[in-house]
Amino acid sequence: MLVLSLGLHACVSSHLLVGNPRAPIPAGEVRVFVQTPAAPYEEIAILETSSARSLAWNQQGKIDAVIRRLKREAARLGANAIVVHVLADGAPTSIGAGIGTGLVGSHGTLGIGFESEGSTTAEKIGRATAIYLPAMPPDTMPP
């Protein structure tokens, strides 16, 4: 089961360092912003991920998977926040199958075939900047 879990989460996130990484932190401590914060911060990395292999079937599940993966990647780099820039549909995924058999005999040829094709909804992709926000005294925190 562990091998399956590792396979499902491997190679779906990447980053480009633009600053200095810090010691890793728990992903639950990473805050999510959709606009650049007004407070001073340090950029650590540009992150990219998708909902591929997340087992999420609906749109909200795919969005949740993308945010979870962005936060996990940021946390590995010691960033305590991300600024989400892109949350969009990726390319749709197609699924196909085919089975065929044939029989050739002295009285003719018999062929049997089966084909099925379908497509799944597009995966979600996300891009964000991993940042480090220094701790602010409680009386200066924005509401």
- Which residue in the block uniquely carries the two structure tokens 């891009």? 127
Q: What is the mean pLDDT of the chain?
A: 81
Q: CA 50, 129, 93: angle at the middle one, nearest 5?
A: 15
Q: Would you tell me how many other CB atoms lie within 10 Å of the CB of residue 73? A: 23
How many residues does the structure list for the chain? 143
Lowest mean pLDDT segment, chosen from 25-29, 60-64, 135-139: 135-139
The residue-averaged pLDDT of 137-143 equals 57
| Domain ranges, ordered by start, for the chain | 11-93+122-134
Provide the whole-model pTM. 0.69
Tell me yes or no: is domain 11-93+122-134 CATH 3.30.390.50: no
Closest to 12 measured CA to CA, from 110, 115, 123, 87: 123
Q: How confident is the model at residue 76 (pLDDT cuts 50, 70, 90)?
A: very high
Residue of 13, 124, 125 whose CA lies nearest to 59: 124
d(Cα 69, Cα 52) in Å, to the nearest integer?
11
pLDDT digits (tens, 9 = 90+) for 93-129: 555 555 666 666 666 666 666 565 554 568 999 999 9
Span 6-17, pLDDT tens digits = 344 444 789 999
Q: Report the side by side order of strands in the sheet with 31-33.
A: 13-17, 42-50, 124-132, 81-89, 31-33
Q: Which two tokens stand for residue 49?
A: 């991920």
